[in-house]
Amino acid sequence: MRQIRSLNSGWSQTCLGGPGMRPGLPESIPATVPGTMHTDLLAAGLIPDPYLDLNEITLDWIGRCDWRYETCFEWSDAGDEHVDLVFAGLDTFATITLNGAEIGRTANMNRSYRFASRDQLRDGMNHLVVSFGSAWKRGAALESQYEPRPNNYPGPANLMRKMACNFGWDWGPSLVTAGLWQSVTLESWSSARLSRVRPEITLDGADGLVRLHVEIDGEPAGLTLRASVAGVTETLPIATGAALIELRTRSPQLWWPHHLGGQPLYVLSVELLDGDVVVDTWSRDIGFRSVRLDTSADDHGSAFTLVVNDTPIYVCGANWIPDDCFLPRVTPERYAERIAQAKGANINLLRVWGGGIYETEAFYEACSRAGMLVWQDFLFACAAYPEEGDLPAEIEAEACENIVRLMPHPSLVLWNGNNENIWGWFDWGWQGALEGRTWGAAYYLDLLPRLVAQLDPTRPYWAGSPYSGSMDIHPNDPAHGCTHLWDVWNDVGYEHYADSVPRFCSEFGWQAPPTWATLTEAVHDDPLTPTSPGVWHHQKATSGNDKLLRGLQGHLPQPQSMDDWHFATQLNQARAIAFGIAHMRSHRPLNMGAIVWQLNDCWPVNSWSAIDGYGRRKPLWYALRNVFATHFLSIQPRGSGLSAIAVNDRTLFWRGPVTVKRIRFDGTVMAEWTHWRLCADRLSAAELSIPDDIATPGDIRSEMLVATMHDTTAFHYFAEDIDLDLPVPAAECTLDRIGPVDWQLTVRATTLLKDLSIFVDRLDPVAEISDMLVTLFPGQEHVFTITSALDLGLDDLRQPPVFRTANDLVNR
């Protein structure tokens, strides 16, 4: 049977020199595999944390140097016919030598490599060396080879197969890595091995059907394949290196997105047998479900609707970027935690963005267990990519490997060709700059759809995000396909999200700083201000701070202190995204998806994320939990009036009375109306016009609408905060310990409290709180659950800057 031996231990690394190399480095530095040179230098105490203050700048030399990794291991010849060195991931330009003999070179971070090594191995001690060339240095050579190609961000990522955001993005640092970023193994085998198993998993009526395409290396004649799933087993004698075996499961339980059903998983296993002897094995957890993309034409343009198990899905999504600049630090436990956070915010789909990586198995496994849908970009982002030289072959190899690697996962529901590259060709001046040179069209419109059709015909492919389905239609036309809405953040106020109804919005976002605990952990400026050096350095977006302040205009006063800046910009982010999503969801089924930019961060930074770079939840996370709820109620403009919109993303109808009250801020009900039976059918939205006498305020500065349906509530203000007579906030508070690390804070409002948020991380960096952005009328109360091991004090919890409301900002 094939034997696999880990070679992850005993490594060291050496800096081979380069521009700015730090003098005095030890000749040999202990190295961790999987790892990077940055994390090894950090572990050895040779560099400061790259995420803190301005350290990113002083550590730029690391990525501009060449590095050598080496280890020694014992080996004895056990008579196996084949012994292969297998590298699951090399970052990026590597030369591998074994006992002084070169056995291979690599130029692609996004694929694995296997090198036949038996002839180079020797009994006893063996010396393995992996030398990495600087990606910056190789990029300079590639730039002269390929001629200039437009790129929205610095660095040569579009000329090589390396994580694009490694060279910096408008939310990420330039920390150009190298190293053995995934495992190294020595594989020994004889006769034959399973080289590739490609399972097409579909539904055939009520049955689950698995078509297993199996490829075999070696001499398979006389061997047998045995495959099984859900109690069904089939065997097949084989004579060549390729075989097809089918498994039919009668009426399996279906795999569903988490908001619609369960996630039953079945073990699919394949064995290669020589008589009764198992020669090799392969297994994965799979789920049975169908998926298609509805892009049919209609009176409004053309649809973009994801359909799972013949059920149209409204996508409540978030874009996913690499969760750390140093990829090996993202453990399976961290993946599971982050995906649980996404699920907790009622997110049902994560889009793995094309400037990052094909994530490791742990990510997709966690998504499949959690019922989290995955949209997977191929790795192209915001740049023109040459179609000459070595790139096409590398791109085809990585695409083939990753399509086959990821297709067993039921969570994966869509392949997408690129991020914004078709849009760039249309609108960003590329056509003139390129002067007829290639830019990647052949990848998105020919190679990738062809590979998906050949290798994974069970899933839909879309050429890009944004894309309208045809090169004859503008790629960002909201009437077709998927749309990106970035003019709002970049140019105008968030109220302009309501200017259009995209069929599907796959990117839109609004910035805010990280949590206070994260900001102060990463930045040590004294004084700390929005423009102090460290804070400024952790703002990577062009004019980002200016846009943060401009975005407050017309909504909230300009902040006069660091505390107010931090709260106001976080509050504005939450409101902006909630406003946009509520607008889009209210137009279901014309709009069938909103994927916010972005769920997570790769380091501590001012960004569009809901979860910051140290894994803490920003107010946006709580806003997403509300606006992505499966039962969601909002008040929206319709015609010349207002309507209550009930959105139902459950499989049972949602029916009940709707009460709308016009209330003064002091709690006085000025008008009230009840509609006794509003019914939103399953997976639909229902609209209810609000009578004019209810919807028309006597005083726009001191009145608001409150709509309720069962346990859901919607608020509507007749003016923005700067034009409201919000009272000075007042409340009565009590604090009770309910467990060793659990507390209950009860807040009883004595005035209107708008968007009450309690920032417990200012008292305890690891503390968490159950709710934020809570609005209370006088006499109403809310119970917050706090998790903290500290001995919390009530006085600290009920004072700014911990206890905050929108009232504070207006009354400054």
pLDDT of 195 above 90:
yes
Q: What is the mean pLDDT of residues 382-399?
A: 97
pLDDT per residue as tens digits for the range 731-742 = 999 999 999 999
> Residues of 156-182 as b/e, b for ≥16 C-beta within 10 angstroms?
bbbbbbbbbbbbbbbbbbbbbbbbbbb
Please identify, in words, the CATH class of the domain defined by 631-723. Answer: mainly beta
> Which residues are catalytic, by number?
420
Domain at 191-286: CATH code: 2.60.40.10
pLDDT of 635 above 80:
yes
CA distance 344 to 624: 9
Please identify, in words, the CATH class of the domain defined by 3-187. Answer: mainly beta
Q: What percentage of the chain has pLDDT greater than the value 70?
A: 100
- Phi, psi (rounded to 5 degrees) for 620: -55, -35
Pairing outcome for strands 505-508 and 483-485: parallel
The burial of 725, by beta-carbon neighbours within 10 Å (0-12 exposed, 13-18 middle, 19 or more buried), is given as middle
pLDDT of residue 288: 98
pLDDT of residue 791: 95
Residue with tokens 């993309």: 293
Residue with tokens 């004579």: 239
Q: How confident is the model at residue 234 (pLDDT cuts 50, 70, 90)?
A: very high
Tokens describing residue 257: 């997105």
pLDDT per residue as tens digits for the range 308-326 = 999 999 999 999 999 999 9
pLDDT of 519 above 80:
yes
pLDDT of 812 above 80:
no
Tokens describing residue 458: 């069970």
Please identify, in words, the CATH class of the domain defined by 731-810. Answer: mainly beta
Domain at 311-383+465-627: CATH code: 3.20.20.80
Q: How confident is the model at residue 246 (pLDDT cuts 50, 70, 90)?
A: very high
pLDDT per residue as tens digits for the range 531-577 = 999 999 999 999 999 999 999 999 999 999 999 999 999 999 999 99
Whole-structure pTM value: 0.97
Average pLDDT of the chain is 97
pLDDT per residue as tens digits for the range 347-378 = 999 999 999 999 999 999 999 999 999 999 99
Q: How many beta carbons lie within 10 A of that of residue 52, not counting itself? A: 16
pLDDT of 808 above 80:
yes
Q: What is the mean pLDDT of residues 398-406?
A: 98
Q: What is the mean pLDDT of residues 83-91?
A: 98
Instruction: Outline which parts of the chain fall under CATH 2.60.40.10.
Output: 191-286, 631-723, 731-810
- Phi, psi (rounded to 5 degrees) for 161: -105, 75
Q: What is the mean pLDDT of residues 114-139?
A: 97
Q: What is the mean pLDDT of residues 394-401?
A: 98
Q: How confident is the model at residue 388 (pLDDT cuts 50, 70, 90)?
A: very high
Strand ranges (E), 169-320: 184-189, 192-204, 207-218, 224-229, 232-237, 242-249, 266-274, 277-286, 291-294, 297-298, 301-302, 305-308, 311-313, 315-320
Strand ranges (E), 454-546: 461-462, 483-485, 505-508
pLDDT of residue 148: 83
pLDDT of residue 154: 87
Q: What percentage of the chain has pLDDT greater than the value 90?
A: 98
pLDDT per residue as tens digits for the range 712-724 = 999 999 999 999 9
pLDDT per residue as tens digits for the range 458-502 = 999 999 999 999 999 999 999 999 999 999 999 999 999 999 999
pLDDT of residue 67: 98
Instruction: Outline which parts of the chain fall under CATH 3.20.20.80.
Output: 311-383+465-627
